[in-house]
Chains A and B, each alone.
Chain A
C-alpha cells in the first residue's frame, strides 16, 4: 500500500467563512489532518466553518468523532459550524450512530 494520504483536506476562505472540503477516506488515520485544518481555520478568526463532505468515499465512527470534536472546538471559539453537503457514506454512518441531527446539515 502506498503512503499517500487517504484523505484530501482543502481549505477555502471567503471573507469570514472558511470551507473545509474533505474528500476520500476519513478514519482514525486521516483525522489528524482534518483536526489540523479545523484548528487553523479557527485561528484565522472566521465566523463560519463549513465542512464540505460531499467527496467522502468512506467514513467510520472516527470520522463522526472528529466532526463532533470540530464542532466542539468551533463552539468554544463562538464560530458557527455546518456540515454540508454530505456524501452517502457519511450519511449512512451518521444514521448508524444516530447522530445526524447533531450537525447543522443543510440540504442542497
Chain B
C-alpha cells in the first residue's frame, strides 16, 4: 500500500447530474491513455454509480481521483458530506425506489470502502490490473 502511483489524475466537478458523464469521460480517457483499456468497462460503470450517489446524497463539489499503482487502480469519489454510503435494501416501488448503486460497484471491483476526513465523505474502490495477480 505504501507504493507511489505511476499515473494519477484529479478533477473537481460541480455536484450536478452532468458530473456523471464528465467523470465517466475522465476515467475512460485516462485509462485508455494509460493503456488500461481492459478495465474501462468496469470502471466507467463504477465511477458513474459513485458520482451519481454523490450528486444524490452528498453536498458540495465532487472530487474524483484516479490513480494507477503497480498492481491495481484506485478510484476515489468525495464530496462535502451529508451522505452515508452503505448498501441499502433494494426498493422496487415507491419514492425510495433504487438501492443498486453500491451493489453494482461491489460486483465490479475487488475492494471498496468509505472514510470521512476533514468534512469529506469519500468512497474508494480498488481493482486489480489484468496482468497483475
Q: Which residues of A contact B (CB under 8 A)?
A: 1, 6, 25, 27-29, 58, 60-62, 64-65, 68-69, 72, 93, 96-97, 99, 102
CB of A27 within 8 A of CB of B21, answer yes
CB of B97 within 8 A of CB of A62, answer no
Most buried by B among A25, A61, A69: A61
Q: Which residues of B contact A (CB under 8 A)?
A: 17-18, 20-22, 24-25, 44-45, 48-49, 52, 55-56, 92-93, 97-98, 100-101, 103-104, 107-108
CB of B44 within 8 A of CB of A58, answer yes
The secondary structure that dominates the B interface is: helix
**Chain A residue nearest to B44 in the complex (CB):** A58
The secondary structure that dominates the A interface is: helix
CB of A60 within 8 A of CB of B45, answer yes
Q: A6-B21, A60-B45 are in contact. List 16 more A-B contacts (CB 8 A).
A: A25-B24, A27-B17, A27-B52, A28-B20, A28-B52, A29-B17, A29-B20, A60-B20, A61-B49, A61-B98, A61-B101, A68-B97, A93-B104, A97-B103, A97-B104, A102-B92
